[in-house]
Amino acid sequence: MKWLKMGTLLGAPLFAQALKVGDAVPSTLAAQDEKSQTIRFADLKGQWVVLYFYPHDDTPGCTSQAKEFSRLLDEFHKIGAQVYGLSTQGAESHKRFRQKYQLKVPLLTDKDGQVAKAFGVKVFAGMCSRDVVILSPEGKVALIRQGVSPENSPSEILAWLKAQQGK
């Protein structure tokens, strides 16, 4: 297995290598939603899963990206895809952000940045880089896009998923 727990540094596990396209998602990889419910990514098999990592709640780019994913959420669901936004902020921040903009996309907390790091998403100064990871219905990493546009990434990801349906 390429995702090995090597030890800890300041209480955070270190991993030998980030997951790559084709790797199975480890059963232990999980994040919490704003209701403190644990979402295990390996348990989401049978559907496409879009994980979009963003730097900070209620900032211009992150807000436009979250609004666009929310606007397109029904289209994602029609093709059998679930969408989650992830950042290092806590549940209360996510609740306020979702309420303020009536966001439909569930937001998950990756407080220690370990989910981000497992997928090779950079965490700097406590914030994730703007990346998208797609998990296949088989529970494997299907796509990793780094440094995506907040405005265009939701529609680009939707188009990519629709193209996979034709294969």
Residue among 62, 81, 107, 158 flagged as catalytic = 62
Predicted local confidence at residue 5, as pLDDT: 34
Distance of alpha carbon 81 from its chain centroid, rounded? 13
18-165 topology per CATH = Glutaredoxin (3.40.30)
pLDDT tens per residue, range 88-130:
999 999 999 999 999 999 999 998 899 999 999 999 999 999 9
As a whole number of angstroms, the distance between CA 101 and CA 120 comes to: 29
As a whole number of angstroms, the distance between CA 148 and CA 13 comes to: 27
Predicted local confidence at residue 167, as pLDDT: 60
**128 is an active site residue:** no
Predicted local confidence at residue 34, as pLDDT: 86
- Domain coordinates of the chain in residue numbers? 18-165
> Which residues of the chain, if any, have pLDDT below 70?
1-16, 167
